[in-house]
Amino acid sequence: MVREGHESGMTVEKPNFPKLFLRQESVFESLEFLDGDVGIYSARCPGKTTANEDSVAIIPFDENSGVLVVADGMGGHAAGDLASMTAVQEMAAAIIDARESDQILRSGIINGFERANESVMALARGAGTTLAVAEIGSGWARAYHAGDSVVLIVSSHGNIKLETNSHSPVGLGLEAGFLDIEEAANHENRHLVLNAIGSKDMRIDIGSPVKLAKRDTVLIASDGLTDNLPLGEVVEMVRRGRLETSMTRLVESCTQRMVNGGLTAKPDDLTVLIYRPTGKRLSQATEKGQQ
């Protein structure tokens, strides 16, 4: 069912879940999810003819919780698209299994990482992928990740409530203060990843729950975004405005940076998920209570 009142160029619907986006040449949608909306963009690198190596999943757990998933197949490895697709499918299956066996969502997510890692290693093709998950609860969110895909939580005022650390040499250098943003953007090893799905040494980085206000933004993205746009620009574009407007300006700016080139440009597959809690369910419950 398509909802009215949204900008053109973006399909807006209330979907059947779970919803997976695999090997998409280009997708740009907005969906109702839990007590809010989520925007999805995924497209292969400009000028690229091979498959998009990014994969996406939106998976509900119950009426008040679910997960958003981004996997970025490692382009330097064989079958990166197959690795990311496998990881996302295993995560979705593990969460469904957790729900059906009365486990908590956290257990399903951790099982999903482990199942994804085992399945990607079993491909025996040298494949690898990042995997970033945002667990969305009632008024809070938590990040889980392996690799350099990012989970970011930003307030409407531009305050960064959460930014995951990149599991890469450049990411560690930034975190430790050995590199500044310009040095990181031009570093010869910015493509290297130290932790990924498909490795016997894979580890899961699990964050603490972060309280969500009504106008906060949860963003999950592949490094096609973070390698081309500075964090400050990303925050400014997503912190305000309608969801579709924020998605559009973010994607257009990043794609333009890739196409126009320059020292800091790194053309790549690009995937962005943005979740905004709207408080619609709370408002509807209040209205019913007043009737």
Give the count of alpha carbons within 13 A of 144, CB side only.
24
Q: Which residue has the higher pLDDT, 77 or 284?
A: 77
pLDDT at 3: 36
CA distances 217 to 32, 139, 220, 242, 246, Å, are 15, 12, 10, 11, 10
Cβ distance 105 to 135 under 8 Å?
A: yes
Q: Which pTM does this prediction carry? A: 0.85
d(CA 19, CA 2): 16
Q: For 82-139, what is each residue's pLDDT tens digit?
A: 999 999 999 999 999 999 999 999 999 999 999 999 999 999 778 899 999 999 999 9
Q: For 264-290, what is each residue's pLDDT tens digit?
A: 678 999 999 999 998 865 444 434 443
Cβ distance 115 to 98 under 8 Å?
A: no
For the domain spanning 11-290, the CATH number is 3.60.40.10
Question: What is the distance, to the nearest Å, from the Cα of residue 130 to the centroid of all Cα atoms in its chain?
Answer: 10
pLDDT at 110: 98
Question: What is the distance, to the nearest Å, from the Cα of residue 81 to the centroid of all Cα atoms in its chain?
Answer: 16
Helix H or strand E encompassing 260: helix 243-260
pLDDT at 261: 75
**φ/ψ bin of 265: left (φ > 0), alpha (ψ from -120 to 50), beta (otherwise):** beta
Is cis: bond before 15, omega within 30 of 0? no
Q: For 143-181, what is each residue's pLDDT tens digit?
A: 999 999 999 999 999 999 999 988 655 555 455 454 455
What are the structural domain ranges in the chain?
11-290
